[in-house]
Chains A and B, each alone.
Chain A
Amino acid sequence: MATKRDLRTYLNEAYPKTSDRLPDGVVNAFNGPYRAYYAIGYWRYLVAALLMATIPILMEPSILGDFFPALEDSVADLESPIPYLTGGFGIRVLVMTGIWILLALGLSVVVGMAGLLDLGYVAFFMLGAYTTAFMTESGGADQFHFVVWPNVAALPFAILVCILAGVALGIPTLRLRGDYLAIVTLGFHEIVRQSANNLTITNGSRGIPGIERPDLGLPESWGEFAVLSSHNYWFFLLIPAIILAVIMIRHLEDSRVGRYWTAIREDEVAAAAMGVPVVKMKVLAFAIGASTSGVAGWIFAGYATFISPNNFPLLYSILILCAVVIGGLGSISGAVVGAMLVQGLPEVVREASGGRTVFGFDPETGRIAVFGFLLVVVMIFRPGGLFAPKRRRIELSEASAAEGVIIDESAQPSQDEIEFASSVHEASQQKEGD
């Protein structure tokens, strides 16, 4: 998948204004790495994975000592160069951010690629987590289980349940128009969450504690490599999951499926007239989007070892939507950066302020106020979000002919419309004259 273009050409096409602002010197300096990165084909994902792996090490250099006992002494006193997100705290933030990145990637398929507004996405996340709890050691003596298998066996089922839920949600609702679909997904989320709150099999609002952690089955002699500490969650579960999700999305973009989703976004009626099976494609989008939240749910259940309906408020669905929209619809980097903004940044702010409020804003809840505001600002001033390529921005900023357009009063009626109106008027005059 080598790219044949230069960095400058790419920028000119996707981000022309930014391209104008960057001088040649800067762009050329990065051109080498840019071309090299793509020239190595799929190996670049390994490079990305290695880069991602350095983050926990930067946060807590002494980790190296755990993995490589020989280095233990030399790294024991190293300080982390990263501000605020250091040590165990930093890594916990990293793991949660990684989980949110998975969620944002999934939602970006639904909203960004297929153009379906899903306001209840976290319901799938919740289903994934609870499925895991139902399939492995968890809870008290009377906790409901389907089976009690090792945690890793629950993963494919978590994914499967989410996909089925996505299909079940999609089939009856995808004939609906955008706004209605959004509300239905919201209703779906609340139904799932409230049911979890009320049913005994989910142990109601008390939640399910003591969920078994996944056992990767690595031999004990591997030392640190075999233990599932926080940083290993990142290394062995999140990095592969994120990389795989990114690969999956890239492959979809560049295929018949991706084109069909774009066609549906642009003009659903024309798409159907060109042979696009619209409903099937929409259901597929839901299913694929739901699959990453299945993985995220499984990872979360094993990591937190305790889940309850309070872990999955509607608020989070909206926050992930903020992440995807502000980051940039239709852009993978957008989804990743968005997730980092929405999950990681407030943690940094909270640490930086020493746990106090910032300008009167409590970081945990104030973030939604801030991001809600940003959502409005982004929609008005930069519809595509931060990283959306130019084409998407144009697409989002103007209604297509296919939608019922909400008219602007200052736009004058067209010549056609004026003639039409006057001929209607004439005709009715004639009729009255008869």
Chain B
Amino acid sequence: MAPLLKVDHVTMQFGGLRALGDVDFEISEGEIFGLIGPNGAGKTTLFNCITGVYAPTDGKVDFVGEAITGKRPDQIVAIGICRTFQQIRLFPNMTALENVIVGADARHKTSIFGAILRSRRRKREELEGEETALSLLDFCGIKRYANDLGRNLSYGDQRRLEIARALATQPKLVLLDEPAAGMNPVEKNGLRDLVRKIRDNGTTVLLIEHDMKVVMGLSDRVAVLDHGEVIAEGLPEQVQSNPKVIEAYLGSGAGGAAGGAATGDPEADDQVATPTQGEN
């Protein structure tokens, strides 16, 4: 069966820094695929390459057999891939409902003329958008916060909101960037259930996560990135006991944060011009 997503020898170079080197793997439809690796390994950079934030210096990315390399982020969404962010990027002054509706709008077609003239399509899509948003908020367990401003939600609920918003774009593949970061064990369990629900509902999931219990418990298959390269790939149990993987984590463990900083890791912050912060 043809893979849903094919990352084909992707390399990403920032000047002298090679953030990704010859990354190559595939994701099949309906699976939950985990992407792990020590701090600064290049995981978010890879997300950025898949979603069009960066254009890879070399290699290509195929989705459902078609090349999507170098397309703009909004085009990627139209094609059927959506993502969440490592450091939550909601629309803080919009309500939870409005946040999700913006996601749903990706599938709407009301044009500027339709908006000004209040066409029938616009009316239909407004109703649809609100319905979809409410049901997604419910799906993610935060329906009661629908009319609260994004900034006022608790951290865990904000993460769920980001996921709901991404799901509203009706993606075939959703990329979750450390969704469990900062969550307590109860919230993490809830998140695990949610991710399984997402997959069971028909959306393929690519997951970056640091919490081993979460990612190993959820993933069907796992790939390990270290210093921008795939050092292992396969079933969770296989990968966990792979000596190269163990060394990658233990070896860089002592100066983990320092290691991430020393490489001037551009992926440690996926924001535009902020001071670098250590990853979790």
Q: Are A267 and B89 in contact (CB-based, < 8 A)?
A: yes
**Residues of B with C-beta under 8 A to A269:** 53, 89, 271-272
Q: CA separation between A252 and B275, bound complex, in Å? A: 37
A329 on interface, CB distance cutoff 8 Å: no
| Contact-size category for B | 35 or more
> What mask results when residues 87 to 101 of chain B are scored 1 for a CB within 8 Å of chain A, else 0?
101111110001001
State which of B78, B112, B262, B273 has its C-beta within 8 Å of the C-beta of A404. Answer: B273
Interface mask (A263-279 → B, CB under 8 Å = 1, otherwise 0): 10011011111111110
For A, the interface residue count at a CB cutoff of 8 angstroms equals 45
* Interface 0/1 of B138-156, CB less than 8 Å to A: 0000000000010000000
Q: Tell me the smallest distance from the CB of A369 to a CB of chain B, in Å.
A: 33
Distance in Å from the Cβ of B90 to the closest Cβ of chain A? 7
Provide the B119-154 mask, 1 if CB < 8 A to any CB of A, else 0: 000100110010000000000000000000100000
Answer yes or no: B73 CB below 8 A from chain A CBs.
yes
- Which of A248, A276, A403 is B116 in contact with, Cβ under 8 Å? A248
Write the chain B residue with the least CB distance to A252.
B115
Q: How far is the CA of A288 from the CA of B113 in the complex (A)?
A: 11
State whether the Cβ of A405 lies closer than 8 Å to any Cβ in chain B: yes
Q: Is A40 an interface residue (CB 8 A)?
A: no
- A404 to B274 Cα, complex, angstroms: 6
Nearest-neighbour CB distance to chain A for B134, whole angstroms, equals: 16
Does chain B have a CB within 8 A of A395?
A: yes
CB-contact partner of A426 in B72, B114, B258, B273, under 8 A: B258
- Given known pairs A266-B94, A417-B277, the reply for A256 and B115 (CB within 8 Å) is yes
From 68 to 104 in chain B, residues with beta carbon under 8 angstroms from any chain A beta carbon are 72-74, 77-78, 82-83, 85, 87, 89-94, 98, 101-103
B197 at the interface (CB under 8 A from A): no
Closest to B149 in A: A391
A427 within 8 A of B: yes
Q: Does B65 contact A (CB under 8 A)?
A: no
Taking a contact as CB atoms closer than 8 A, the residue among A258, A275, A284, A403 that contacts B169 in the complex is A275
Chain B residues proximal to chain A, CB less than 8 Å:
51, 53, 72-74, 77-78, 82-83, 85, 87, 89-94, 98, 101-103, 105-106, 108, 110, 112, 114-118, 122, 125-126, 129, 149, 165-166, 169, 255, 257-259, 261-262, 271-278
